[in-house]
């Protein structure tokens, strides 16, 4: 357990809290890349997913895309894009990688949320005189929200994991102490970095779990109990 | 294509190593998940904590898990074993759920009929419940296989050689072709393994060919996404 | 009054659900469209509120074609009760009943007050107001569905096999309630069912439909029972099985009514008025 004691000692060292590789800076970079890329992916994938779920068209393509995306190694994609963009454009290449990786889960969350709604409920919504927009907003959006948040959760965690690896191309982020420490055999630093990354992911996951639970409409939750 | 042509031997060697690491993790994952999944399915009290624990492990980013596991369990981080253990942990996280969901999907009438005919609980599990849970479990195994093969490349960051080596080496040498070859080899390998799994599913579950309506149930665990 | 004028419907893919259908549905009466599955009865019903658009022909309400009206406003002006209630799972009972009022711009407060009133009308306890559909029994859900259909006080109520999914005891109860409601509310009700007994019990007028929504016979229950148009109708209403061919027999303890097989189906009370067509069959079932 003295590995962990070393790691804690490293974390507590004031040296890690100042300078351009200070932990708060690394955390800030990690969060910034995650938030920006997930937001861009949301703008692209969520409306597309809703359209697919609403019309039922393009479903096969969406399923194929999210299935095939699983086989693509995120680390390889990152480095491929870094080389394609040129080594001076690392942040842009990384951002594109993160967006690409976030899209499949968001797409799946958006379309499966709408697809999972009982057709009879949608039929009834139309029959009582809801406009197409009201059917979407009051019924499809609301009932599909938990699965959409599930997709957002998966996408965000995927990006957090990939931002960690992206320290390898000098992007910064909390992966930096790990990537920097391994070749130098500085295991206190490596372990400290790993702990920080794990805690970040777990906290974000927890927040999403709470949001996902809160998004389930009370009447639907009542079925489960 | 000059680099690929000149290094075909290297690519094939790395692919073989990569396949070996992934398959060991996948097989270990299945072996561990069947009893764990059955436990989770039978005892509600076990299910919650077990799904929670594996879910938490699954949440931890791969690079962090590759450091934390050896630190906790006390073995060297820079080893093939470490990579295989981490991949197995991720596999178990997906598969325990798939096994439990699969057992959920078995028709209770069939289960009752088997019991009524005099099947004991263990025999019923192996000859009735597990095969009928097969389609859902297979869907989970396919997802796991794909994400395991893709994820294994991260091993190169802790000094384990596999197809991920083509990424780091390609970056160092600014060889787009090499990196591309690595990505393509991983995707091709994943697709081939997936095709083999589908084929194995057809051979092992011939009754499935008639009923295609299973697709919906089988897709549920596939909504998970590799981290 | 609702009038179908040579209405046809061909679904994409070529299935002809309705062919050249014409019918006048009288106001303030319950008209039952009865037929087996594939008779196009639900399609006909859904053409009244433009949930389905006719391929040719028109549907008119009080002389005005529905095709010239905005579908959304049209639907808000017509009550619709469907099988499995079709309630919004994420709305409370009260919000479900108030849906149409809210869509029409009634304030939440007024809509809820009216919804509470309607719960009483359909025989639901006020304590259910804040529950969700999933917390109600099938029969209760169906009552909420009826209350929702009545909320905007429409002249027309469309009912698509509304009691098809509830158990027989509850169904009988709901059928009686509907008859009671209709005595109070006097709506133009179009009711779709595949159950001929339900048709006889509820219908002022009955339209028996064959394949492609061809009208096999139309009339009051009495007309249909006493003069089935053909063998198909006779078989459909069960006349040939002796279920409806009842006769009076004198037994040791009084006068009984027996069917063709000689099984006692009921008793004959001396003071009973000439049986009204709507209750003859169902009351003895």
pLDDT tens per residue across span C67-89: 999 999 999 999 999 988 789 99
Nearest residue in chain A measured CA to CA from C88:
A121
Indicate the average pLDDT of chain A.
Answer: 90
User: C86 — phi, psi (to 5°)?
Assistant: 60, 30
pLDDT tens per residue across span B118-128: 888 888 888 88
User: B157–A168: do the CB atoms touch at under 8 Å?
Assistant: yes
A123 touching C, CB under 8 A? yes
Task: Give the model's pLDDT for residue A7.
Answer: 87
pLDDT tens per residue across span B175-218: 999 999 999 999 999 999 999 999 999 988 887 765 554 444 43
Q: Where are the domains of chain A?
A: 22-218
Q: How far, in Å, are A64, B37, B119, B214, C39 from residue B128 at the CA level?
A: 32, 16, 9, 17, 43
Q: Is the confidence at residue C281, as pLDDT, over 60?
A: no
User: C88–A127: do the CB atoms touch at under 8 Å?
Assistant: no
Q: Is the confidence at residue B225, as pLDDT, over 50?
A: no
pLDDT tens per residue across span B129-180: 999 999 999 999 999 999 999 999 999 999 899 999 999 999 999 999 999 9
User: Which helix (DSSP H) or strand (DSSP E) does residue C78 occupy?
Assistant: strand C78-82
Burial (CB < 10 A; 0-12, 13-18, 19+), residue A214, is exposed
d(CA A197, CA B63): 9
User: A179–B157: do the CB atoms touch at under 8 Å?
Assistant: yes
Task: Give the model's pLDDT for residue B211.
Answer: 53
> How many Cα atoms occupy the beta-carbon half-sphere of A210 within 13 Å?
5
Please tell me which of the candidates A84, A178, A201 has its beta carbon nearest to residue B176: A84
Task: Give the model's pLDDT for residue C254.
Answer: 79
Q: Is the confidence at residue A223, as pLDDT, over 70?
A: no
Task: Give the mean pLDDT of C151-178.
Answer: 91
B56 touching A, CB under 8 A? yes
Distance in Å from the first CA to the final CA of chain C: 32
User: B102 — phi, psi (to 5°)?
Assistant: -60, -45
How many Å is the Cα radius of gyration of chain C?
Answer: 20
Nearest residue in chain A measured CA to CA from C48:
A127
| Stronger pLDDT, C239 or C69, i.e. the higher one | C69
Task: Give the mean pLDDT of A197-207.
Answer: 94
Provide the percentage of residues in chain C whose pLDDT is more than 90: 65
Task: Give the mean pLDDT of A114-119.
Answer: 90
Task: Give the model's pLDDT for residue B95.
Answer: 94
d(CA B56, CA A201): 9
Sheet of C16-25, strand order: C16-25, C2-10, C56-61, C64-65
d(CA C255, CA C275): 16
Task: Give the model's pLDDT for residue C252.
Answer: 80
Indicate the average pLDDT of chain C.
Answer: 88
Other C-beta atoms closer than 10 Å to the C-beta of C1 total 14
d(CA C187, CA C66): 18
Q: Quote the domain boundaries for residue B218.
A: 2-223
Please tell me which of the candidates C82, C90, C135 has its beta carbon nearest to residue A127: C82
d(CA B3, CA A127): 64
Task: Give the mean pLDDT of C29-56.
Answer: 93
Contacts of A220 in chain C (CB under 8 A): 89-90, 132, 134
Task: Give the model's pLDDT for residue B75.
Answer: 85
Domains delineated in chain C: 2-77+155-241 (3.40.50.300)
Contacts of C134 in chain A (CB under 8 A): 219-220, 222-223
pLDDT tens per residue across span A131-182: 999 999 999 999 999 999 999 999 999 999 999 999 999 888 999 999 998 8
Please tell me which of the candidates A125, A142, A219 has its beta carbon nearest to residue C134: A219
User: B225–A104: do the CB atoms touch at under 8 Å?
Assistant: yes
User: A143–C84: do the CB atoms touch at under 8 Å?
Assistant: no
Contacts of A139 in chain C (CB under 8 A): 88
pLDDT tens per residue across span B11-44: 999 999 999 999 999 999 999 999 999 999 988 8
| pTM of the complete model | 0.84
Q: B41, A164 in Cβ contact below 8 A?
A: no
Specify the pairing of strand C215-219 against strand C247-251. Answer: unpaired
Task: Give the mean pLDDT of A62-68.
Answer: 83
Task: Give the mean pLDDT of C104-126.
Answer: 93
pLDDT tens per residue across span B62-85: 999 999 998 888 888 888 999 999
CATH topology of domain A22-218: MetI-like fold (1.10.3720)
User: Which helix (DSSP H) or strand (DSSP E) does residue C126 occupy?
Assistant: none
Nearest residue in chain A measured CA to CA from C83:
A120
Q: How far, in Å, are A102, C162, C248, C260 from residue C275 at the CA level?
A: 71, 27, 14, 20
Number of domains in chain B: 1
Task: Give the mean pLDDT of A113-136.
Answer: 92
Q: What is the CATH number of the domain that holds B148?
A: 1.10.3720.10
User: Which helix (DSSP H) or strand (DSSP E) does residue A199 occupy?
Assistant: helix A187-215
d(CA A45, CA A104): 8
B195 touching A, CB under 8 A? no
d(CA B58, CA A158): 11
Sheet of C30-34, strand order: C78-82, C156-160, C188-193, C30-34, C205-209, C215-219
Nearest residue in chain A measured CA to CA from B139:
A67
d(CA C135, CA C118): 19
User: B190–A150: do the CB atoms touch at under 8 Å?
Assistant: no
Contacts of B226 in chain A (CB under 8 A): 70, 158
Two tokens, residue C145: 């569905």
Residues in chain A: 225
Residues of chain C numbered 34-73 and touching chain A (CB < 8 Å): 49, 51, 72-73
Contacts of B156 in chain A (CB under 8 A): 75
Please tell me which of the candidates A126, A134, A218 has its beta carbon nearest to residue C132: A218
> How many Cα atoms occupy the beta-carbon half-sphere of A118 within 13 Å?
12
Q: Which of C81, C88, C130, C165 to mutate to test the interface with A (most CBs of A within 10 A)?
A: C88
d(CA C185, CA C183): 6
Q: DSSP letter at C278?
A: T
């Amino acid at each position: 357990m003295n590995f962990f004691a070393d790691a804690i000692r490293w974390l507590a060292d004031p040296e890690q809290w100042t300078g351009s590789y200070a932990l708060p800076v690394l955390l800030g970079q990690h969060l910034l890349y995650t938030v920006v890329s997930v937001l861009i992916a949301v703008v692209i994938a969520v409306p597309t997913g809703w359209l697919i779920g609403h019309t039922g068209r393009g479903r096969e393509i969406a399923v194929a895309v999210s299935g095939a995306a699983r086989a693509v190694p995120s680390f390889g994609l990152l480095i491929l894009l870094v080389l394609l963009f040129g080594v001076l454009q690392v942040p842009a290449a990384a951002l594109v990688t993160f967006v690409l990786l976030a899209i499949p889960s968001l797409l799946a969350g958006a379309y499966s949320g709408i697809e999972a709604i009982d057709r009879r409920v949608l039929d009834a919504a139309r029959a009582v005189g809801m406009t197409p927009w009201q059917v979407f907003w009051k019924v499809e959006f609301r009932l599909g929200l938990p699965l959409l948040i599930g997709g957002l959760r998966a996408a965000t965690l995927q990006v957090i994991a990939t931002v960690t690896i992206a320290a390898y191309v000098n992007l910064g982020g909390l992966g930096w102490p790990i990537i920097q420490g391994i070749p130098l055999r500085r295991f206190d630093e490596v372990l400290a970095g790993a702990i920080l990354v794990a805690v970040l992911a777990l906290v974000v996951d927890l927040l999403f779990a709470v949001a996902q639970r809160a998004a389930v409409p009370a009447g639907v939750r009542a079925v489960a109990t | 294509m000059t680099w690929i042509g000149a290094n075909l031997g290297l690519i094939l060697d790395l692919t073989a190593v990569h396949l070996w690491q992934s398959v060991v993790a996948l097989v270990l994952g299945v072996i561990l998940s069947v009893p764990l999944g059955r436990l989770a399915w039978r005892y509600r009290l076990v299910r919650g904590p077990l799904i929670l624990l594996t879910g938490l492990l699954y949440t931890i980013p791969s690079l962090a898990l590759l450091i934390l596991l050896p630190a906790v369990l006390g073995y060297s981080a820079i080893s093939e074993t470490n990579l295989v253990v981490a991949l197995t942990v991720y596999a178990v996280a997906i598969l325990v759920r798939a096994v439990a969901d699969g057992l959920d999907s078995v028709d209770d009438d069939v289960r009752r009929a088997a019991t009524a005919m005099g099947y004991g609980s263990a025999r019923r599990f192996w000859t009735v419940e597990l095969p009928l849970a097969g389609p859902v479990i297979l869907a989970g195994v396919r997802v796991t296989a794909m994400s395991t093969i893709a994820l294994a490349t991260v091993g190169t960051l802790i000094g384990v050689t596999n197809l991920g080596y083509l990424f780091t080496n390609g970056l160092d040498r600014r060889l787009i072709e090499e990196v591309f070859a690595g990505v393509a080899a991983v995707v091709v390998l994943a697709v081939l393994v997936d095709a083999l799994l589908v084929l194995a599913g057809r051979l092992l579950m011939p009754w499935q060919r008639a009923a295609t309506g299973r697709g919906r149930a089988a897709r549920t665990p596939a909504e998970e996404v590799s981290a | 009054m609702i009038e179908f004028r040579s209405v046809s419907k061909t679904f994409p893919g070529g299935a002809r659900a309705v062919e050249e259908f014409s019918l006048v549905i009288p106001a303030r009466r319950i008209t039952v469209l009865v037929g087996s599955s594939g008779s196009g009865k639900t399609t006909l019903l859904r053409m009244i509120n433009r949930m389905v658009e006719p391929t040719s022909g028109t549907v008119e309400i009080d002389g005005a074609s529905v095709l010239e009206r905005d579908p959304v406003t049209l639907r808000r002006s017509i009550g619709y009760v469907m099988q499995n209630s079709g309630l919004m799972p994420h709305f409370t009972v009260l919000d479900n009943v108030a849906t149409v009022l809210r869509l029409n711009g009634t304030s939440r407060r007024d809509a809820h007050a009216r919804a509470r009133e309607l719960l009483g009308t359909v025989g639901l306890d006020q304590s259910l107001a804040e529950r969700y559909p999933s917390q109600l029994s099938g029969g209760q859900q169906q009552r909420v569905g009826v209350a929702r259909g009545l909320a905007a006080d429409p002249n027309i109520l469309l009912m698509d096999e509304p009691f098809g999914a509830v158990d027989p005891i509850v169904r009988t109860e709901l059928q009686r309630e509907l008859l009671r409601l209709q005595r109070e509310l006097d709506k133009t009700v179009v009711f779709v069912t595949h159950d001929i007994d339900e048709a006889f019990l509820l219908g002022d007028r009955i339209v028996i439909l064959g394949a492609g929504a061809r009208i096999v016979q139309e009339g009051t229950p009495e007309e249909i029972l006493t003069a089935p148009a053909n063998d198909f109708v006779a078989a459909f209403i069960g006349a040939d099985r002796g279920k409806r061919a009842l006769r009076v027999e004198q037994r040791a303890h009084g006068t009984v009514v027996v069917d063709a097989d000689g099984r006692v189906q009921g008793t004959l009370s001396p003071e009973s008025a000439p049986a009204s067509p709507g209750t003859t069959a169902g009351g003895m079932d």
